[in-house]
C-alpha cells in the first residue's frame, strides 16, 4: 500500500492506469457514474455547517467622533433651553394655569418626560447623521450663532424669574434681596474706609 494517496485516483488505478471509481462510491458500495449527488461520506440532504458571516458593525454613539459628541451636547442643551425649561416655567405661570386649568400642570410633566428621553433622541439623531449627514446640517450652521443663543437663554431666564417674582412674590426671596442690599452697602463702607486709612485719612478729618 502506498504511503501517499494520489488525489486524482484516491481509490487506486486499474492495470491500464485508469483511476478506479473516479467519482467515488455510493452508500451501497456501487461505483458512481457521475459527480451528481452528495459527496462521498455525506448523506444526501444533510446540511453543511457554514461559518457564520460577520456582520458589519452598525454605527453607534459609542464609536462617534469628537464632533458627534459635541453635536450631542448641543442637542441636549438646546432641548433644555428651548423646550424643557419653558414648559416647566409655563406650568407654574398663573395666566397659563388660568387659561389651561389642569393641563397647565401637565406641562410640568411634559418637561420631565422630554428631559428624560432627550438623550436617547439625541443619540438616534447622531447615529442617523452618520449615514445621512444632512440631518444635522442645521445644527452645524448654528455654531456661529452660539453666542447669540447664549444671550437669548440668559435673557429668557432673567425674564422668567422677574415675571415669576412679580406674579407670585416669594417673601424669602425678597427678604434675601434686602439682606443683599444691606450686605453690599456694608462692603462698600468697608472698602471706602480701608482706602481712606491707606491714604492717611481719618473719619474725623472729613466729619461735618
DSSP string for residues in 59-79 = P-GGG--HHHHHHHHHHHHHH
Residue 114 within any structural domain of the chain = yes
Rounded-to-integer distance, Cα 146 and Cα 26, Å: 78
pLDDT in tens, 5-38: 666 667 677 777 777 767 766 766 676 766 665 5
Are residues 153 and 87 both part of a single domain? yes
pLDDT in tens, 45-80: 455 555 555 554 444 454 457 788 888 888 888 888
Is residue 177 over pLDDT 70?
A: yes
pLDDT in tens, 95-146: 888 888 888 888 888 989 999 999 999 999 999 988 888 888 887 777 666 6
Calculate the alpha carbon distances from 105 to 87, 92, 111, 112 in Å. 10, 7, 10, 12
Q: How many CB atoms lie within 10 A of CB 95?
A: 11
Residue 202 within any structural domain of the chain = no
Are residues 101 and 163 both part of a single domain? yes
Residues 6+ apart with CB under 8 A from 106: 91
Residue 84 within any structural domain of the chain = yes
Are residues 106 and 161 both part of a single domain? yes
Are residues 5 and 73 both part of a single domain? no
- The total number of structural domains that make up the chain: 2
**Structural domain boundaries enclosing 20:** 1-31
Extract the C-alpha cell encoding 43: 448523506
Give the residue among 52, 23, 54 at the shortest CA–CA distance from 40: 23
Extract the C-alpha cell encoding 82: 428651548
Contact between residue 19 and residue 13 where contact means Cβ atoms under 8 Å apart: yes
pTM for the full model? 0.44
Residue 36 within any structural domain of the chain = no
Calculate the alpha carbon distances from 79 to 5, 27, 142, 179 in Å. 74, 71, 14, 36
Contact between residue 66 and residue 101 where contact means Cβ atoms under 8 Å apart: no
Residue 89 within any structural domain of the chain = yes
Are residues 161 and 74 both part of a single domain? yes
Amino acid at each position: 500500500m502506498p504511503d501517499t494517496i494520489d488525489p486524482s485516483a484516491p481509490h487506486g488505478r486499474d492495470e491500464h492506469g485508469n483511476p478506479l471509481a473516479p467519482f467515488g462510491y455510493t452508500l451501497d458500495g456501487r461505483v458512481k457514474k457521475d459527480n451528481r449527488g452528495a459527496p462521498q461520506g455525506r448523506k444526501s440532504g444533510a446540511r453543511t455547517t457554514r461559518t457564520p458571516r460577520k456582520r458589519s458593525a452598525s454605527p453607534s454613539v459609542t464609536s462617534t467622533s469628537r464632533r458627534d459628541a459635541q453635536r450631542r451636547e448641543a442637542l441636549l442643551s438646546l432641548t433644555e433651553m428651548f423646550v424643557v425649561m419653558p414648559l416647566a416655567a409655563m406650568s407654574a405661570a398663573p395666566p397659563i394655569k388660568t387659561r389651561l386649568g389642569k393641563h397647565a400642570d401637565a406641562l410640568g410633566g411634559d418637561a420631565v418626560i422630554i428631559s428624560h428621553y432627550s438623550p436617547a433622541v439625541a443619540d438616534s439623531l447622531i447615529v442617523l447623521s452618520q449615514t445621512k449627514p444632512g440631518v444635522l446640517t442645521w445644527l452645524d450652521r448654528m455654531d456661529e450663532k452660539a453666542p447669540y443663543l447664549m444671550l437669548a437663554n440668559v435673557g429668557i431666564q432673567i425674564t422668567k424669574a422677574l415675571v415669576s417674582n412679580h406674579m407670585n412674590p416669594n417673601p424669602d426671596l425678597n427678604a434675601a434681596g434686602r439682606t443683599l442690599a444691606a450686605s453690599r452697602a456694608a462692603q462698600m463702607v468697608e472698602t471706602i474706609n480701608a482706602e481712606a486709612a491707606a491714604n492717611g485719612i481719618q473719619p474725623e478729618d472729613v466729619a461735618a
